[in-house]
């Protein structure tokens, strides 16, 4: 899941005093690795989905988004190299889960591609952004750089809103699609955390306890609804 911030995202909350996770926690490299594979996956997905665009403008917009994902990948590559971690070996454990997510949410239309690019990637961004606020500042800065807004979301919003404002049928279909994206994303995130002990420990330490993780997922659902509303899907 490539991760991109959106204007509807909630502001960062300061880390609780004494609750910052050390920068050398082994889960940090795991976090960078899953983010890195997410960026690579997003690059290929956006490149492939560009074929659905009925206009050159749409193809260019998706190409620009894909290029931004590769820029984010390079940030993570450097961060892992500085830790002496081979990025390819580090990404491998996350390949199946993220590939499965994309396989289960393959768009069949240009509109579905647009919604996935905006809403689907936003779900991942919400999760990682929440964690980043509670990590060591050095680590949090890397994660926030990777989640930086690429500036192309305005194109997606205008394209989707223009359609759903004139077609109730398309609106209903895309609302169902958005719910599916959310459900699949949460399922895959839970699967990854269950399989990767060091990453799970990092998330638990950053969150405070399991109840806070549940609250984090609740906030993700609220932020998802806000993104859907920006697209006119509410």
Domain residues of the chain, as ranges? Answer: 26-230
Please give the DSSP secondary-structure letter assigned to residue 108.
S
* CA dist 96 → 57, 99, 104, 225 (Å): 33, 5, 12, 28
Classify burial at 38, counting beta carbons within 10 Å of its beta carbon; exposed 0-12, middle 13-18, buried 19 or more.
Answer: buried
Contact 101, 123 (CB under 8 A): no
Question: In CATH, which superfamily holds the domain spanning 26-230?
Answer: Ferritin, core subunit, four-helix bundle (1.20.1260.10)
Closest CA to 73 of 97, 102, 37: 37
The counts of H helices and E strands in the chain are 10, 0
pLDDT band at 15 (very low <50, low <70, confident <90, very high): very low
Between the CA of residue 22 and those of 136, 139, 146, 195, what are the distances in Å?
A: 6, 9, 20, 22
Question: How confident is the model over 138-180, as pLDDT tens digits?
Answer: 898 999 888 876 566 788 999 999 999 999 999 999 999 999 9
Examine the pLDDT at 126 and tell me if it is beyond 50.
yes
Rounded percentage of the chain residues whose pLDDT exceeds 90:
47
- Retrieve residue 30's tokens: 């795991």
Q: Cα(143)–Cα(28) distance, rounded to whole angstroms? A: 10
**Nearest Cα to Cα of residue 26 among 202, 196, 144, 193:** 202
What is the distance between the alpha carbons of residues 233 and 139, in angstroms, rounded to a whole number? 35
Proportion of the chain above pLDDT 70, given as a percent: 87
């Amino acid at each position: 899941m490539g991760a991109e911030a959106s204007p509807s995202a909630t502001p960062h909350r300061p880390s609780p005093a004494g609750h910052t996770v050390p920068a050398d926690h082994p889960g940090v490299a795991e976090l960078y690795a899953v983010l890195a594979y997410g960026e690579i996956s997003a690059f290929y997905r956006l490149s492939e989905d560009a074929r659905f665009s009925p206009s050159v403008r749409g193809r260019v917009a998706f190409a620009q988004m894909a290029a931004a994902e590769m820029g984010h990948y390079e940030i993570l590559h450097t961060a892992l190299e500085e830790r002496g971690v081979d990025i390819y070996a580090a990404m491998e454990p996350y390949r199946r889960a993220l590939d499965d997510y994309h396989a289960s949410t393959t768009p069949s239309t240009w509109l579905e591609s647009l919604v996935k690019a905006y809403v689907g990637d936003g779900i991942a961004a919400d999760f990682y952004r929440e964690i980043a606020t509670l990590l060591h500042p050095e680590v949090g800065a890397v994660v926030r750089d990777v989640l930086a807004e690429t500036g192309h979301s305005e194109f997606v919003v205008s394209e989707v809103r223009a359609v759903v404002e004139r077609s109730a049928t398309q609106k209903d279909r895309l609302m169902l699609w958005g719910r599916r994206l959310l459900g699949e994303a949460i399922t895959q995130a839970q699967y990854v955390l269950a399989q990767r002990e060091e990453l799970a420990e990092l998330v638990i330490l950053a969150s405070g306890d399991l109840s806070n993780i549940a609250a984090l997922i609740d906030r993700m659902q609220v932020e998802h609804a806000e993104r859907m509303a920006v697209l006119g899907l509410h």
